[in-house]
Structures are given as structure tokens and as C-alpha cells.
Homo-oligomer: A and B are copies of this chain.
Amino acid sequence: MKKSYLLTPGPTPLPPQVCEAMARPIIHHRTPQFQLILKEVTEGLKYVFQTKNDVFVFVSSGTGAMEAAVANLLSPGDAVITVEGGKFGERWTQICQAYGINTEVIKVQWGEAVAPHKIEEKLNNARRIKAVFTTLCETSTGAVNDIAAIGKAVKDTNAVLVVDAISGLGAIDLETDAWFCDVVVSGSQKGLMLPPGLGFISVSQKAWKLIESSRCPRYYFDLKAAKKAWESTDTPFTPAITLIIALCESLKMIKQDGLENVFLRHKKMADATRLVVKALGLELFAPTCASDVVTAIKVPQGIDGEKLVKTMRDTYGVTIAGGQAELKGKVFRIAHIGFIEESDIIACISCLEKVLHQMGYKFELGQGVKAAEEAFLKG
């Protein structure tokens, strides 16, 4: 007998309402019954995206929606800016390069946010830039970028702003319209509290103009086909029916709480976790721009980071994330995304203390949980 806790930045824990919806007998997608759900889901997504733009759902992981952005907006030989502050920023560059797009890369020290003026400067120096590819929360480092400021820098240029909000959407504020985000992509297994399987994309009028002239090949991810189908409340290809029905449930939960309260809950969990880090004598990986999405913590000297994560998971049932790519073994990450509550954080921190203690890390047992309790008591 072992209870499981999931505090990874995707997948995130599933609410019982979602599990129940997933277990229902399936219905056909080309029916008025499913159309009602697709309509409700589209409206719900617009609420979470904070947009009046078109929002479409793909059967794909978040990366599929990222590729859709590249393949629909651009033509081979086009020039774009990509911001690389971690593994997922680098993914924008990789996708663009796969499509023969020229990428002007802004390299950011991992764990730091991009300085918006750097994007502004590059846009001024190279006026033929067609798109700026950025990341809301860089899941690999826990850093959050200032998308509002980046939006201001991009909005009056010819370039469109594309935001990877895969781990951030529904967890922290992203005002798609007010911040001039032309294309926002996300996935289902994060703030939307679903299993992986759905990719989302929002498309502004400015982006549609660019799409008109794009010559990159695409079929499955073609946005014009998606728009045409959506206009008759349909999808171009068989949708992931079960996941969309479950999405309808999780969107209801988000609406009921209200986005603002959802963001506050994430902030509360993240604030508490950051205080825990301090109380245990640990160090944040992204201290100047730590997101409320996922907290990356440096593995203390002398401790085997991968063993820490493995022991918490396999011995105690608490799954957190290790480091990715160049951060493998150097950080561990505790996510606050979606259906995560105070009790999950307490269970996680208590387990972390136990394993750190067993591994010989010197600290006063209980100080982490105490810091979290204090934070939660303050509200």
C-alpha cells in the first residue's frame, strides 16, 4: 500500500471529475452532442487564454502545437528571433531549423529571464524578422519571462509574437490579447489538469495575415483547415473525444474558481516552496525570476540529485522532476501546477526532508514543513 503524489511539471494530478469523465462510454464526434461540448470547450479555452482570438485544439502534445505555429506562420528562408533560456526555448530553434527558417537566437543564461530590450534591439536591427518565439515559463529552469513587456516591444513591428505557454497557461497570468500575443500554444497535461494528448493554439488577426503567405508544408497541423472545420463546430480530423470531454470538466472547475483565484493558489504553493528552500538551506536555481509554475532547486553539494528524485518516487511514492539536458543531476524541480493543494506540498516537503536527511544532508528536520505551514497560515 502506497499513496502516490505527483508534483512534476506535466503530467499533473487529475481531479476526480476528470478521471470520471475519462471513464465514460465514448460518443461519436460528428454528433450534436459532441458539438455542444466542442463549443463549450472553445469558449472555456478563450477564457483561460484571456483572448477573443481563435483557439484550436489538436490531438498532439504541446510540441505539436509549437510545430503548428512554425509551419503555419513561415516560409523557408524567413528570419525569426528565438529566445533560448532553457530546453524549451531551444526547441523553438530546432523546429524553425527543421523548416529551413533562419533563426536569430537570443541566448539567455539558464535560470534567467530574457531582457525585453534585447528583443527590441534585435527587431530594430533586423526589420525583416517575421516572428519572435518566446517561452512564458521555461519548464526546465523554472524561470518566467516578462511576456507583457516583450509584447510591448513586438506589437508595433511587422513581427508576430509567439508564446510557448505550455507549462504556464492556467497556472500564471498570461493576457493573450492585452499583452499582444499573436500565437499562444499550450498543452493539456499542465494547468488544465488533464492527461497529455491535447495541444492548443490561439491565433490573432495579425498572425492570420502571415499565415496567408506561408509556404511551409503542413497538413495535419494546418490552421486554415482547422479554422474552416471549427466554423461548423467540427474538427478536420478525428478529435481526442475523451480528452475533450474531460477538458470540459476541468474548464468548468477553473471557471468556478475564477482564473484570479487559480493564479493565487499557484502563487501560494510556490511562495511556500520558496520559503522551504530557504529554511532548508537550499538554493533556488532561478532566484531572480522564479515562476509560480515550477520551482527548480539546486542539488546541494555532496548529494546525488538523481538518486534523491528516484528515492522520493520509488521508496515513498512522491514524484518530483529531476533536471533536464545540461541540468541533469544539478537541480530538482517541484511543480505547483493544476490540481495541487497545501497538503500535496506538505507531503512533498516532508518526504524531501526525510530523503535529504537519509542522504546525509545537514539541516534541522522539520524546518521545511514549518516554513510551509507558516506561509500557508499567512494565506
Does chain B have a CB within 8 A of A24? yes
> Would you call A28 and B319 a contact (CB within 8 A)?
yes
> Would you call B99 and A217 a contact (CB within 8 A)?
yes
Known: A11-B29, A28-B8, A67-B219. Contact between A59 and B22, CB under 8 A?
A: no
User: Across the two chains, which residue of chain B brings its CB closest to A62?
Assistant: B238
Known: A94-B219, A100-B217, A240-B195. Contact between A23 and B26, CB under 8 A?
A: no
- Cβ contact of A28, chosen from B11, B32, B67, B95, cutoff 8 A: B11
Cβ of A66: which chain B residues have Cβ within 8 Å of it?
A: 220
> Would you call A6 and B19 a contact (CB within 8 A)?
no
Q: Give min CB distance, A90 to chain B, whole Å.
A: 12
- Residues 216 to 269 of chain A near chain B (Cβ within 8 Å): 216-222, 237-243
Does chain B have a CB within 8 A of A370? no
Cβ of A319: which chain B residues have Cβ within 8 Å of it?
A: 27-28, 31
Cβ of A64: which chain B residues have Cβ within 8 Å of it?
A: 59-60, 64, 220, 237
User: Across the two chains, which residue of chain B brings its CB closest to A98?
Assistant: B219
Does chain B have a CB within 8 A of A147? no
Does chain B have a CB within 8 A of A63? yes
> Would you call A13 and B28 a contact (CB within 8 A)?
no
- Residues 69 to 128 of chain A near chain B (Cβ within 8 Å): 71, 76, 94-95, 98-100
Question: How many positions in chain A have a CB within 8 Å of any CB in the partner chain?
Answer: 57
Q: Give min CB distance, A183 to chain B, whole Å.
A: 16
Cβ of A302: which chain B residues have Cβ within 8 Å of it?
A: none
In angstroms, Cα B3 to Cα A370, docked, is 54
> Would you call B10 and A26 a contact (CB within 8 A)?
no
Does chain B have a CB within 8 A of A287? no
> Would you call A197 and B99 a contact (CB within 8 A)?
no
Does chain B have a CB within 8 A of A212? no
Q: Give min CB distance, A2 to chain B, whole Å.
A: 12
> Would you call B217 and A98 a contact (CB within 8 A)?
yes
> Would you call A219 and B28 a contact (CB within 8 A)?
no
User: Across the two chains, which residue of chain B brings its CB closest to A243?
Assistant: B197
Most buried by B among A13, A28, A67: A28
Does chain B have a CB within 8 A of A326? no
> Would you call B27 and A23 a contact (CB within 8 A)?
no
> Would you call B26 and A195 a contact (CB within 8 A)?
yes
> Would you call A13 and B31 a contact (CB within 8 A)?
no
Does chain B have a CB within 8 A of A4? yes
Q: Give min CB distance, A228 to chain B, whole Å.
A: 14
Cβ of A187: which chain B residues have Cβ within 8 Å of it?
A: 238
What 1/0 flags go to A176-198 for Cβ under 8 Å of B?
00000000000101000001110
- Residues 307 to 344 of chain A near chain B (Cβ within 8 Å): 313-314, 319, 321
Does chain B have a CB within 8 A of A61? yes
Can you report 29 A-B residue pairs in the complex whose CB atoms are below 8 A from each other? A6-B26, A6-B27, A6-B28, A8-B28, A11-B27, A11-B241, A13-B25, A19-B24, A19-B25, A20-B23, A23-B23, A28-B313, A60-B60, A61-B239, A64-B64, A64-B220, A66-B220, A67-B220, A71-B217, A98-B217, A98-B218, A98-B222, A99-B217, A195-B241, A195-B243, A196-B239, A196-B241, A197-B243, A240-B240
Residues of A bordering B, CB below 8 Å:
4, 6, 8, 10-11, 13-14, 19-20, 22-29, 31-32, 59-64, 66-67, 71, 76, 94-95, 98-100, 187, 189, 195-197, 216-222, 237-243, 313-314, 319, 321
- Top 7 closest A-B pairs, CB basis? A23-B23, A195-B242, A197-B240, A22-B22, A98-B219, A63-B237, A61-B237
